[in-house]
Structure 1
Amino acid sequence: MADKIKFVLALLLVVAGVAAFYLLGESAWLIVRVLCVIVGVLAGAAVGYTTVPGKQFAGFAGESISELKKVVWPTKKETMQTTGAVFAFVVIMALVLFLIDKSVETVIYTLILGWKS
């Protein structure tokens, strides 16, 4: 039950930050309005972190970051080659589909229906 109350409080803090952004309107500098939103989100996140699901999420996020560091990213050359291959495939498939479409159109309209003479 305490976790639910903390989640509601966290949500209310985020909503309060966003509401302050709109309530201040043109009477305050933009930086002050943006800081209200940032403070609301950070306060909500801090309260949310104190819950059991919040700590589980933080652990999951940490594990995700460590797994992301293990990824071997492609080099620029590999990326360009793969992009070129995909682009060439798309162009070839577009031509093939165009030819199939025109062939079917010719068969239907000229040979079957006799509309184009």
Structure 2
Amino acid sequence: MNTETKEEVDRIHNLLSNASDNTLKTRYIKGYSKRLIRALYSLILEDTGVWQDDIYKMKNDILNYCEIDSALVDYLYACYLDSNVLVEEFLGIADEVYSYFENALNTMAASRTSFG
């Protein structure tokens, strides 16, 4: 998720908001759900010790090791499985998850520089 800058998030917002048909919306929602789950999983890689390719296992590990609201993770996973949701609702949840991810990265970076 190194490329998950604010510009990339804005780009995904625009794609989803302007998608003209349900097939595109479904594809974007499923893809972004997966990216966010993988990003959250990257935060706990030190804890798990192994990269997981199975999204279901990633979700469970995130719930076990991450201090994020489990409802957010469950929602993302549900969207990954069935992307037929309201775009506005999805983007609201996705923004919360992205904010958590960004804050966690900043916290990790700050703790590493304080020891450096």
Q: Report the TM-score when normalising by structure 1.
A: 0.30
Structure with the higher helix share, 1 or 2: 1
Highest Rg: 1 or 2? Answer: 1
Name the structure, 1 or 2, with higher relative contact order (CA <8 Å, separation 6+). 2
